[in-house]
A and B are shown apart, each in its own frame.
Chain A
Amino acid sequence: MIHLSRLLFLLMCLPIACSHLPDIQSTPPGAAPSGGCLTSIFPQGDWQLLHAIEATGPSGGKQTLLGLSQISSHKRSAHCVMMTLEGMVLFQATFDDGALSVQRAVAPFDRPGMAEGIVEDLRMIFFSPGRPHIQTGRLPDGMRVCRYPLPDGGTQDIETQDQTHWVIHRYDRRHRLIRTVRPVSDQGRSEQGMPNQILLEAHGLVGYQLRMSLVEAQPLTYQPKLKKVNPCDSN
């Protein structure tokens, strides 16, 4: 019996013990990007974005909401509103480079930690990490990668093949994969150069999925269109 409990303990610990960040093969000196890594995959400037958000919960239940986001890349701020398709506002919040202010939160958006979670997901989707990368290179599958440390001890990898094929992986402080964000490439891009559809997956026991289809993108000021360049080659 004692052996069985030890075995169970070891099995429980196994995912933690086995978690490690993907190995990065460093780019040869002179070829590595030195700064401004990968920021062109994120919206630049001030935008108002309207998405249809198909949320799938851990039990497979789906619900579609409208998500309105006003974002500013240089201020690193955003105002976000989540509505039912009928237009009822369920959640409304503002964040300004770390400071979160919730104006409205109706069930289930009033759960503890929900507002912070939504904001973190939005920051991951719309904003560059906002700090220098600590490592660049290639993953074993050939994708270029820039690795960033996060304030909570986690890590974020931004992996690119080209402007339309990229993926963001976020890991917690124990190096367990907790989020994946990627554009759905067969859905194409808007005339403003933004992905028509983005998929966010939250991993874990209570994981969920957000499939965000771009309905409308309006510049709040003059915006240059996104350049079709490989961000890792920009320097």
Chain B
Amino acid sequence: MRNLQKIRHKTHLLLPLIAVLCIGWAGSWDELKSTAGTVTSVKAAFRQEKHLKILARPLVSEGVFYYQAPRSLRWEYTHPVQSILLMHEGSVKRYVQTASGLEMERSAGLDAMQVVIDEITRWLQGRFDESEMFAARLEGAGRIVLTPKEEGFKAIIQWIEINLAEKPGMIRDVVIFESPEAYTHMLFSDTTLNTPIDASIFREVP
């Protein structure tokens, strides 16, 4: 049971990043769900800035992601360490750059990623308020604030802010707060919605 909890916590660590896939601009949950329902695919570049009190300037990572409804995802870092997370047809794989090239990584946390997929699916449908893990609050100016429901999870992430872009279906940026002094800021660019994505993107590397 304790192991199961640990695995759930491990998978929780990926959830905030995947929250960025959530679609839609809206003034209410109903509007958000309505807009989200029209999105079938997402492709975007991202820049991730890690802010810590000890850092004079943030650590920067860059990458791209692809999403295809209902349950296919590719989350790829291109800098500074290449890594690719693939989720497709119930399979979850992670590849990481090593001295001998991209290698598939095996860890217990990946086996439990189906939990994450279910959560993603809810979010992609704009059903933030139905999340099992986060309490969602829709604020003005297209901002959604997610707060973990479990106390144990709050020790890892205090809250998440998602800022929707003006264009329906797009996210401007996401900030994940581990503490007021330690947070991850993700900014998105070159976002395209509802364009066909070849299935091999979710199955193969690079």
Please list the residues of chain A having a beta carbon within 8 angstroms of any beta carbon in chain B.
Answer: 50, 52, 54, 60-64, 66, 68, 70, 79, 81, 83-89, 104, 106-108, 184, 187, 197, 211, 213, 215-216
Q: Does B166 contact A (CB under 8 A)?
A: no
Is chain A's binding surface mostly helix, strand, loop or mixed?
strand
A87 touches B184 (CB 8 A): yes
* Cβ-defined contact, B105 with A89, below 8 A: no
Contact A86 B14 (CB under 8 A): yes
A68–B97 CA distance with the chains assembled, in angstroms: 18
Distance to closest chain A CB from B109 (angstroms):
8
Q: Distance (Å) between the CB of A198 and the closest chain B CB?
A: 12
Chain B hits for A83, CB < 8 A: 50
B61 within 8 A of A: yes
11 contacting pairs across A/B (C-beta < 8 A)? A54-B98, A61-B108, A64-B105, A85-B77, A85-B81, A86-B14, A88-B156, A89-B52, A104-B178, A106-B9, A216-B80
Besides the contacts A87-B184, A107-B6, what 13 more A-B pairs have beta carbons closer than 8 Å?
A52-B81, A52-B96, A60-B106, A64-B83, A64-B96, A66-B59, A66-B81, A68-B55, A81-B54, A107-B10, A211-B98, A213-B99, A215-B81
B107 close to A (CB within 8 Å): yes
Q: Are A88 and B13 in contact (CB under 8 A)?
A: yes
Q: Does B145 contact A (CB under 8 A)?
A: no
In the complex, A63→B99 CA distance in Å? 15
Interchain CA distance A34-B178 in the complex, whole Å: 49
Give the distance in Å from the alpha carbon of A60 to the alpha carbon of B157 in the complex.
30
Chain B, 1-21, contact with A by CB distance < 8 Å: what is the 0/1 string?
000001001100110110000
A108 contacts which of B6, B17, B97, B184 (Cβ < 8 Å)?
B6
Within the complex, the shortest CB–CB distance from B66 to chain A, in Å, comes to 16
Q: Are B80 and A215 in contact (CB under 8 A)?
A: yes
Number of interface residues of B (CB under 8 A): 34
Alpha-carbon distance between A84 and B52 when the two chains are bound, in angstroms = 14
CA separation between A100 and B184, bound complex, in Å? 26
Tell me which residues across on chain A come within 8 A of B13, comparing CB atoms.
84, 86, 88
Report the separation of the CA atoms of residues A83 and B176 in the bound assembly, to the nearest whole angstrom. Answer: 14
* Chain B: CB-nearest residue to A186: B99
Contact A62 to B105, CB < 8 A, known contacts A87-B184, A106-B9: yes
- Which residues does chain A contribute within 8 Å of B184, judged by CB atoms? 86-88
- CB-based contact B108/A184 at 8 Å: no
B96 to A85, Cβ gap below 8 A?
yes
How many angstroms between the C-alpha atoms of A54 and B96 in the bound complex? 9
Chain A residues within 8 Å of B14, by CB: 86
Chain A residues with CB under 8 Å of B115's CB are none
Contact across chains for B182 and A89 when beta carbons are under 8 A apart: yes
Separation of A66 and B162 alpha carbons in the complex (Å):
25
Which residues does chain B contribute within 8 Å of A87, judged by CB atoms? Answer: 48, 50, 59, 61, 176, 184
* Bound-complex Cα distance A116 to B96 (A): 28
Contact pick for A50, options B17, B59, B103, B176, CB 8 Å: B59
The answer to whether A61 touches B106, judged by C-beta atoms less than 8 angstroms apart, is yes
Q: A68 to chain B: which residues have CB within 8 Å?
A: 52, 55, 59
- Min Cβ gap A148→B in Å is 30
Smallest Cβ distance from A42 to chain B, in angstroms? 21
Find the B residue at minimum CB distance from A53: B81
**A197 in contact with B99 (CB, 8 Å):** yes
Per-residue interface assignment for chain B, residues 143 to 180, with 1 indicating a CB less than 8 Å from any chain A CB and 0 otherwise: 00000000000011100000000000000000010100
Q: A61 CA to B10 CA in the complex, in Å?
A: 15
Q: List the A residue with the shortest CB-CB distance to B2.
A: A107
Q: How far is the CA of A117 from the CA of B105 in the complex (A)?
A: 24
The 4 closest A-B pairs by CB, nearest first: A64-B96, A52-B81, A87-B50, A87-B184
Q: Is B80's CB under 8 angstroms from A63's CB?
A: no
User: Is A62 within 8 A of B107, CB to CB?
Assistant: yes
Contact status of A107 and B9, CB under 8 A, knowing A79-B54, A83-B50, A89-B182: yes
Residues of A with C-beta under 8 A to B48: 86-87
Closest chain A residue, CB of each to CB of B185:
A87
**A197 / chain B contacts, CB cutoff of 8 Å:** 99
